Structure 1
Amino acid sequence: MRFNDSSDMSSPFVSSPVEKTSIFSWLRVMAQKTDSNRFSSPSSGSVPIVIGHRGAAGHAPENTLASLLKAQELGVDWVEFDVKLSGDDVPVLFHDETLDRNTDGHGPIADQDLRALQKLDAGAWFDTAYTGTPIPTLEEGLVVLAQCGMGANVEIKPSKGREAETGMIVGKALAQTWPTSLPLPLVSSFSAAALKVCAAVAPNLARALLVSNVPKDWRAQLDASQTDTLHCLSSGLRKRKAKEILDAGFTLRCFTVNQPKRARQLLDWGVHGIISDYPDRILKIV
């Protein structure tokens, strides 16, 4: 599926290569004009229990439009996906630092402009049925979300050294162009720096800090990230730690939970949400 390749600089999204400085300068100007009333933080009830990981990554190539559409087909209300910047600062749906694992490209994604990225195959690695599937832009992803009526947990996934830059560009893009027909997004990141910059340009947008294992100073890290929501790897979470976080009044979700039995255990502990490659499996036990 392809969408309009507009290069209109009135939008923070650009679907054809432009000068890096043009996008960055435009975003700096627009950041100064942000209407803080554009967002009100989502209520805890607006984010469902089950969220599809990278779309529905167990069923279709991760972070592609096909994966988002598959999630909708499975009855998922919200999806999670990763957003990085191309070499010319266009937000795209992609997880890894490099292109090698799940495209026919090689090397850091940050070294390639959008035009080069759009020539890559991001689907054949998963199944030959998806041969020719492109890396989508965030703009294209939002079009699909609006068409499907799905909300999203948008993970800011900065390349090394681009934490603040990515937080600003993605936060500003979401604040300016998020479909008004959808529930407001939840933004998450492993990078406290990215979350802080996102908070500056979209101050009322809900955020979550991502961690692998819950650190001893988890509360201090949440404070530093300016959020009251923690997303952690499920495999290392124990009941005592979950209780500590939940009893303190914080929101807790777990990734990547693909076994219904584990999901049921986490939910019985009081965990607020499950992020899964196979959201259809988890929906059956909720």
Structure 2
Amino acid sequence: MNHTCADLSAHWPYPRWIAHRGAGKTAPENTLSAFRLGASHGFRMFECDVKLSADGEPFLLHDDDLCRTTDGQGDAGGQPWAQLSRLDAGGWHGPAYAGEPLLRLEALATWLLANRLLVNLEIKPSPGREAETGAVVADHVTRLWSDEAIKPLLSSFKPEALAAAQACQPGLPRALLLTAWHPGWQHTAEALGCVAVVVHHPCLDAASIATAHAMGLRVLTYTVNEADRADALWHAGLDGLITDAVDQPWAQERESVAC
């Protein structure tokens, strides 16, 4: 069954538990080692960040600057992939991960598809490249997941990125990321044809979740690392939870993916 944006609110195909950046803080974020570790703990879905190199290659990185999670320096989006691909994106986390490279979206797709795993791709554009990044990521996703019934969920804090994804690949599911319930969020989500909102967890309660559900939106949250808070949100009607706590017993309940 193909899940379109129109029917995803009724037939939600994604697991409730989502591993943040692959494996939270237990491995170097957004690397293949992190995804492998998250999967070893039973996670069937992952969240990660995608941006573009200077020459338009989609790859995984959260920050605009390279210095926190690689041995490089400067603006990641201002460097070509040939240069970025030589960086060490694992050694900062510990010697066991030294030499771990930055991960191309295409390489991640190959691994996810081989293992029948799902992903929430946060479109994380470098400043001024919102529309370009949204369009390129959407086009790559359509090509890479062409034979899959369940497509990646595209999310972003940047409406311009989601609008570009919507314009070029309208059939892909989209979610609006929110740090707070800012005025006009409903109109933005509706205009972008979103199937979900992904909201910072302190802003969520049963009433706000019910409001989004009444609009036909699923509600996901980030980043919940305490068992009590997770339990409260499940009881409030939450649909999906992004966590760093991939190795904690309370985060071990998993559902099978309805492929």
- Matched residues in 1 for 2:54 and 2:239: separation? 36
Q: Whose helix proportion is higher, 1 or 2?
A: 1
Q: Deviations over 1:93-143 (max 9, x none)?
A: 111111011111111101111111111111111122101111011111111
Secondary structure (helix, strand or coil) at the match of 1:200 reads helix
> 2:59, 2:104 within 8 Å by CA — same for their partners in 1?
yes
Q: How many residues align?
A: 249
Q: Deviations over 1:22-50 (max 9, x none)?
A: xxxxxxxxxxxxxxxx9734734311100
Q: Match for residue 52 of structure 2?
A: 85
How far residue 273 of structure 1 moved from its aligned partner, in angstroms, is 0.6
Taking a change above 3 Å as real, the CA distance of residues 69 and 285 of structure 1, as seen in their structure-2 partners, is: closer
Q: Match for residue 251 of structure 1?
A: 218
1:208 to 2:175 alignment:
yes
Q: Match for residue 69 of structure 1?
A: 36
Aligned residue among 91, 103, 120 for 1:136: 103
- Matched residues in 1 for 2:211 and 2:3: separation? 30
- Matched residues in 1 for 2:70 and 2:224: separation? 25
Q: Which amino acid aligns with 2:69?
A: N
Q: Match for residue 4 of structure 2?
A: 40
- Matched residues in 2 for 1:181 and 1:202: separation? 15
- Matched residues in 1 for 2:168 and 2:140: separation? 10
How far residue 280 of structure 1 moved from its aligned partner, in angstroms, is 4.5
Secondary structure (helix, strand or coil) at the match of 2:86 reads coil
Identify the structure with bigger relative contact order (alpha carbons < 8 Å, sequence gap 6+): 2
How far residue 220 of structure 1 moved from its aligned partner, in angstroms, is 1.4
Q: RMSD over aligned Cα, in angstroms? A: 1.9
Taking a change above 3 Å as real, the CA distance of residues 182 and 134 of structure 1, as seen in their structure-2 partners, is: farther
- Matched residues in 2 for 1:260 and 1:163: separation? 35
Q: Match for residue 55 of structure 1?
A: 22
- Matched residues in 2 for 1:246 and 1:215: separation? 17
Runs of 4+ in structure 1 off by over 4 angstroms are none
Taking structure 2 as the reference length, what is the TM-score of the superposition?
A: 0.90
Percentage identity across aligned positions?
35
- Matched residues in 2 for 1:183 and 1:58: separation? 27
Taking a change above 3 Å as real, the CA distance of residues 168 and 123 of structure 1, as seen in their structure-2 partners, is: same
Q: Deviations over 1:219-240 (max 9, x none)?
A: 1121232214110111233443
Structure 1 segments unaligned to the other structure (5+ residues): 1-37
Secondary structure (helix, strand or coil) at the match of 2:182 reads coil
- Matched residues in 1 for 2:46 and 2:70: separation? 22
1:155 to 2:122 alignment:
yes
Secondary structure (helix, strand or coil) at the match of 2:194 reads coil
Secondary structure (helix, strand or coil) at the match of 1:279 reads coil
Aligned residue among 276, 280, 285 for 2:243: 276
